[in-house]
Amino acid sequence: MSTTNTDETDEERPETDDDELIAEHEKQLNDLLAEVEGPDAPEAESTLPSLGLDMSRRGLMKAGAAAGAIGTLAGCSGIGSSGAATDENSGSNDVPEHTVAPGEHDTYYGFWSGGHSGEIRVMGMPSMRELTRIPVFNPEPAKGYGFSNDTSGMLEEAGDYTWGDSHHPSLSETGGKYDGEYIFVNDKANGRVARVNLNYFETDAILDIPNVQSVHGCCIQSPDTNYVFANSEFRTPLPNDGSDINNPDEYVSLFSAIDPETMDVRWQVEVDGNLDIVDSDKDGRWVLASAYNDEEGVEIEEMTKNDRDFVKAFDVPAIQELVDAGDYREKVNGIPIVDGTKASSHNSGDSPVVRYIPTPKSPHCVEVTPDGNYGIVAGKLSPTVSIIDIDKLDTASDPVDTIVGQPKLGLGPLHTTYDGRGHGYTSLFIDSQVVKWDIEAAVNAEKGSEEPILGKIDVHYNPGHIQAVQAMSSEPTGDWLVVLNKLSKDRFLPVGPIYPDNDQLVYIGNDKDDDSGGMELVSDHPVYPEPHDAIFAHKDKLDPARIWDQADYEGEKEYIGEGDSGVERLDDSTVDVKAYVKRSEFGLRDFTVKEGDEVRLTATNIEGSQDIVHGFAIPEYDVHLALAPKDTREATFTAEKPGVYWIYCTYFCSALHLEMRSRMIVEPRE
Ligand code: RUQ
Ligand code: CUA
């Protein structure tokens, strides 16, 4: 539909002071507009005050299409050759600055799941500058993650995998608003959910969910984060212990409710079909899960056979009541399993605890609108999205009646996000476009109508997730949106056969009656595979610590102050080593242990100045602690090899950083 992109999309409009040339172009454009629209044509809706140029995209498109004049325009010296004024993506005068000047801060935090790089990436928005990374499912040396006893112990207890596939980050909420406390994110690969503490920007818990294999959908319960929900995508035998292996009919998908404080599973619900993505309503009652394999097939042809799959709507308080009353089928691995299948007695009466809503076809995501009125299910193999009226989940006698709209948006709809002004923005994977549409218009239109479409833009290429700022909360800001494109093809310098993905920033603050509906693509950002999804919060929603507060680990780890360094032999084969760390010294200039000793090292960075981090690295022992100010970490290892091992600091902390050294001496045992 639209042709809004060129290869120069991320270039800034160059300033020009050639007023004469501009005036001439302005005249040409106005002449064209007059020719196309007649003398009564309305004033073009956007102006270019800095250039004194009255030119709208719509005007251009119309002029171009009707008069075949795009070529003429592009041929104009100055405009076409500069790639500026005819560049439709940066052609708006009223897109706010998206670059951030040196020393200035971004307005928003963006948290990207890292996909199979297993992490969370933190970006500033709208600059899209990467601020940091938070390792979650993978050991990561820069932050000493997986190298200190607490972090390596956490990874070991969570299955001891060395990788994960982080998919759907959810910010914790209080009263429907992001409270800046936690991010929860799932591991699609190993069926886990992790919690990231946003005071320290550090993963503080990982739950390996029993009875499930792959967790795809993950969300918090709005409005107060009383649960975290996780959908198992791959159907497996229950328990998966060798029984029913050749009996796919007996495989199940489970909906898990997790306690966000203890990070334990409270209960699981078995359903028919599978479970894909999940989102919560805004009132703490219904949770909607999409599904694409109600055929319960194990091969692709089987999985895509039917024209409909069932969205499952879970009545969470009702399920919790069943569990509290002991009204569940059995416990497997200690977890109460509630029967949520279609044939379950809990689903037979007027108030089913799981409603099965048929939607076309192998649908992908479900995202609830910020006002909590609708759950929008993208059709994936159908060009439609289905609008589920959440109030009707309680009242409709036939689940089909909960679907109150089904606009036809384009090919391969995957995800939808919101601006809080009544618009949906849906990614179209196959069309490589974003479509903007009017939600209430879609409710009022015939099913299958294209009327609700307000505009489309091309994106590059094959978008998956799409997220606008704070769109998952009740407070969308309606200004920026990011499209996470799976392919980048020709957009960047080639870097070998594994290409970066392409995250594109789009401004959505202008609602315009043009081909794009006012959407403006403003920048491209190559990203390391595969940022899967993202969530954004205003910077005022977070208040991260600048240095550690030792009270936060008191009782768990010892703070090693300036006078506390030393070596203590506990028994013949165990040695305690304690060292403070500061610029530019380790509290122990050296220490001696015996071959075969278990060394229990505790180190504290006693500095109070922010941003002075020290590393505690012991070559050949795989020891690396990253010590932020006032932080303490422990590492336990066996001193297997006699010799001298230099200890050094990995963070460049002072002019004497290279000299900041110590020695571990391992004496041969007689
Ligand atoms: S799902 S690309 Cu893994 Cu988030 Cu839709
Ligand atoms: Cu401490 Cu470098």
Residue-wise pLDDT tens digits, 107-133:
999 999 999 999 999 999 999 999 999
For ligand 1, atom 2, name the residue with the nearest CA: 464
Place of tokens 């429907």: 176
Q: Which one, of 561, 541, 539, 542, lies nearest residue 550 by Cα?
A: 561
Per-residue pLDDT of 594-639, as tens digits, reads 999 999 999 999 999 999 999 999 999 999 999 999 999 999 999 9
More confident residue, 351 or 17: 351
More confident residue, 356 or 68: 356
Q: What is the CA radius of gyration of the chain?
A: 29
C-alpha of residue 650 to centroid of ligand 2, in Å: 6
Ligand 2 contact via 652 beta carbon (within 6 Å): yes
Q: Residue 544 and residue 554: Cα distance in Å, rounded?
A: 19
Model confidence at 23, in pLDDT bands (50, 70, 90)?
low
Model confidence at 28, in pLDDT bands (50, 70, 90)?
low
Q: Indicate whether 245 pLDDT > 70.
A: yes
Residue 349 confidence (pLDDT): 86
Angle separating helix axes 19-37 and 57-67, nearest 10 degrees:
60
Query: Which range in 91-105, 301-315, 497-511 is most confidently predicted, on average pLDDT?
Result: 497-511
Place of tokens 């009646």: 401
Q: Indicate whether 53 pLDDT > 90.
A: no
Model confidence at 27, in pLDDT bands (50, 70, 90)?
low
In degrees and rounded to multiples of 5, residue 599 shows phi and psi of -100, 125
Among all ligands shown, which has an atom nearest to the Cα of 614? 2
Among all ligands shown, which has an atom nearest to the Cα of 649? 2
- Quick check: bond before 530 cis, omega within 30? yes
Ligand 2 contact via 308 beta carbon (within 6 Å): no
C-alpha of residue 151 to centroid of ligand 1, in Å: 28
Mean model confidence pLDDT for the chain: 88
Residue 295 confidence (pLDDT): 84
C-alpha of residue 156 to centroid of ligand 2, in Å: 29
CA angle 558, 134, 100 (to 5 degrees): 125
Model confidence at 59, in pLDDT bands (50, 70, 90)?
very low
Ligand 2 contact via 653 beta carbon (within 6 Å): yes
Residue 670 confidence (pLDDT): 81
Q: Residue 411 and residue 429: Cα distance in Å, rounded?
A: 7
Per-residue pLDDT of 358-391, as tens digits, reads 998 889 999 999 999 999 999 999 999 999 999 9
Ligand 2 contact via 626 beta carbon (within 6 Å): no
Q: Residue 558 and residue 566: Cα distance in Å, rounded?
A: 13
- Give residue 175's region: left, alpha or beta (phi > 0; psi -120 to 50): left
Q: Residue 237 and residue 249: Cα distance in Å, rounded?
A: 9
Residue 62 confidence (pLDDT): 32
CA angle 27, 28, 34 (to 5 degrees): 85
C-alpha of residue 182 to centroid of ligand 1, in Å: 21
More confident residue, 384 or 79: 384
Residue 162 in tokens: 């060395």
Residue 24 confidence (pLDDT): 55
Among all ligands shown, which has an atom nearest to the Cα of 467? 1
C-alpha of residue 124 to centroid of ligand 1, in Å: 22
Q: Indicate whether 532 pLDDT > 90.
A: yes
Q: Indicate whether 1 pLDDT > 90.
A: no
Residue 293 confidence (pLDDT): 85
Indicate the range of 80-84, 382-386, 427-431, 612-616 predicted with least confidence. 80-84
Model confidence at 30, in pLDDT bands (50, 70, 90)?
low
Q: What share of the chain is helix, strand, coil (3-state, %, to 5)?
A: 15, 35, 50
The 3-class SS string of 610-670 reads CCCCEEEEECCCCEEEEECCCCEEEEEEECCCCEEEEEECCCCCCCCCCCCEEEEEEECCC
Ligand 2 contact via 207 beta carbon (within 6 Å): no
The 3-class SS string of 508-571 reads CCCCCCCCCCCCEEEEEEEECCCCCCEEEEEHHHCCCCCCCCHHHCCCCCCCCCCCCCEEEEEE
C-alpha of residue 149 to centroid of ligand 2, in Å: 21
Residue 648 CA, closest ligand 2 atom number: 2
Residue 308 confidence (pLDDT): 86
Pocket of ligand 1 (CB under 6 A): 167-168, 216, 277, 364-365, 414-415, 464-465, 532-533
Average pLDDT over residues 526-552: 96
Place of tokens 């006032």: 630
Model confidence at 307, in pLDDT bands (50, 70, 90)?
confident
More confident residue, 81 or 538: 538
Ligand 2 contact via 586 beta carbon (within 6 Å): no
Residue 166 in tokens: 């982080």
Q: Indicate whether 78 pLDDT > 70.
A: no
Q: Residue 617 and residue 141: Cα distance in Å, rounded?
A: 10
Residue 660 in tokens: 């900041």
Residue 79 confidence (pLDDT): 30
Residue 464 CA, closest ligand 1 atom number: 2
Element (H, E) at 389: strand 385-389
Average pLDDT over residues 13-25: 45
Are the beta carbons of 254 and 238 closer than 8 angstroms?
yes
Residue 59 in tokens: 């005007």
Residue 56 confidence (pLDDT): 37
Model confidence at 582, in pLDDT bands (50, 70, 90)?
very high
Residue 57 confidence (pLDDT): 34
Note the Cα 317 to chain centre separation in Å. 27
Per-residue pLDDT of 226-238, as tens digits, reads 999 999 999 999 9
DSSP 8-state secondary structure symbol assigned to residue 186: E
Indicate the range of 20-29, 329-338, 537-546 predicted with least confidence. 20-29
Residue 657 CA, closest ligand 2 atom number: 2
Residue 523 confidence (pLDDT): 98
How many angstroms separate the most distant Cα atoms in the chain? Answer: 103
C-alpha of residue 465 to centroid of ligand 1, in Å: 6
Average pLDDT over residues 166-171: 98
Q: Which one, of 207, 233, 512, 249, lies nearest residue 333 by Cα?
A: 207
Among all ligands shown, which has an atom nearest to the Cα of 581? 2
- Using a pLDDT cut of 90, give the percent of the chain over it: 81
> Which residues neighbour 402 within 8 Å (Cβ) at sequence distance 6 or greater?
313, 355, 357, 388, 389, 392, 393, 396
Are the beta carbons of 503 and 527 closer than 8 angstroms?
yes
DSSP 8-state secondary structure symbol assigned to residue 41: P
For ligand 2, atom 1, name the residue with the nearest CA: 614
Residue 584 CA, closest ligand 2 atom number: 1
More confident residue, 321 or 82: 321
